[in-house]
A and B are shown apart, each in its own frame.
Chain A
C-alpha cells in the first residue's frame, strides 16, 4: 500500500525540485526535503535513480547545422517576401451591384506600401468603382 495523497505528491515534487535545482549549482537544503520522504523511501529512491540516469541528448552537429540552415533559409525567405512584396493569388469578392464577369480576376501585390488592411480596402474600392464604369 502506498500513500497517494496530494501531500505525498507535493513532498515528492519538492524533492525533485531540490535535486534539479542542484544541477544549476544553486545551494539547496537537500536533507530537509529528503526528510519529507521518510515514509516514501521507494519513491525517493526512484526519483534519485531517474534524476541521475536520464540524460539529455544532443543531436549530431551535422544535423543541428543542417536544420539551422533550413530555418535560416526559410526565415530569410519570409523576411524578404515581407520586405519586398510577393505576388499572391487572392479571390476577388463580387460586390452586390457588379455585373457578373465585369471584375477581372487579378492578383494583388502584398507587401511594402499596400500590405495594410486599409490599403487592401482601398484596392477593393478601386476595383469596385472600375467595375461600375
Chain B
C-alpha cells in the first residue's frame, strides 16, 4: 500500500536506472548493445585518464565490455544488493582491468595528460589560457596522488558519479570516500597555490 503525505518523502528507493536494460540483455545478450552504447564513452574516458594512451584505452575498453557481457548472468546477485548498480559493477571491472594493465606494463604513465588541455571551452582567450595553465598544474598534482585518490577524482568529475557510487567502486564507505576526495582536493589546492583555507578553531 502506498503511503501518503510526509511519509512518502522518507521512503528510500534503491533504483538502478539500467535494471530493465540489464534484464533485457540477460534474456537476450544481443540487447547488451544498449548498455554498451550508453557507457562506452565513460569506460573509455576512465581508461584514457588512467593509461594516457588512446590505443591502450581502446584495448582496455574492449576487454571491459567483453568481460561484462560474459559476466552479465552473474550480475543478478550483485544487482540486488542495496544501492548497487550496473554502472558500479562495470567500473569495478574497469578498475580491475586498469590495475592488471598497470601491473603488466609495470610503469606509471609518464606523459602528462595534455589531452584535456587541448579542449577549448570558451571565447575568453585570456581567461582560457590562465585556466589551462592552472589545469596543467592541477594535473601534474593529480598525477602524483595515490591511485585511489586520483581515481576518485576522475570518477567524481569526469564520470559524474555520486560519492556513494564511487565508494562502491572503490570498496569504501560513503563517508570514507567523501573524506578521500576532500583530501585529494586539498592536496591539489595546496600544490597549485590555492591553499588559502581558513583553519578551524
User: Interface of A with B (CB < 8 Å)?
Assistant: 1-6, 8-10, 12-13, 16-17, 20, 23, 38-43, 45-47, 49-60, 63-64, 67-68, 70-72, 74-76, 78-79
Contact = CB atoms under 8 A, between A and B. Distances in A.
Given A54-B158, A58-B41, A43 B189 contact: yes
A63 B179 CA distance: 37
B182 A58 contact: no
Contact of B178 (A13, A51, A71): A13
Nearest to A79: B29
Contacts of B66: 70-71, 74
Which secondary structure characterizes the binding site on chain B?
helix
Size range of the interface on B?
35 or more
A46 B54 CA distance: 26
A56 B159 CA distance: 7
Contact of A9 (B30, B44, B156, B178): B178
B74 interface: no
B45 interface: yes
A55 B48 CA distance: 11
Contact of B181 (A12, A52, A79): A12
A71 B32 contact: yes
A4 B54 CA distance: 36
Contacts of B57: 59
B131 A9 contact: no
Interface of B: 28-30, 32-33, 36-37, 40-42, 44-45, 48-49, 54, 57-58, 61-62, 65-66, 69, 115-117, 119, 121, 131-132, 134-135, 138, 153-154, 156-160, 162-163, 175, 178-179, 181-183, 185-186, 188-190, 192, 194-200
Contacts of A8: 182, 200
Contact of A56 (B42, B135, B181): B42
B182 A9 contact: yes
Given A59-B44, A75-B32, A39 B198 contact: yes
A23 B121 CA distance: 14
B41 A56 contact: yes
B41 A75 contact: no
Contact of B189 (A42, A57, A76): A42
A49 B193 CA distance: 13
A41 B132 CA distance: 19
A54 B179 contact: no
5 contacts: A9-B181, A54-B154, A59-B57, A71-B33, A72-B30
Given A38-B198, A41-B194, A43-B186, 16 more contacts: A2-B189, A6-B175, A6-B178, A9-B182, A39-B198, A43-B182, A43-B189, A49-B134, A52-B131, A56-B41, A56-B42, A67-B62, A71-B33, A71-B65, A75-B28, A79-B28
A2 B197 contact: yes
Contacts of A41: 194, 196-198
Given A46-B188, A56-B41, A74-B69, A79 B200 contact: no
B41 A57 contact: yes
Contact of B186 (A4, A16, A56, A68): A4
A51 B36 contact: no
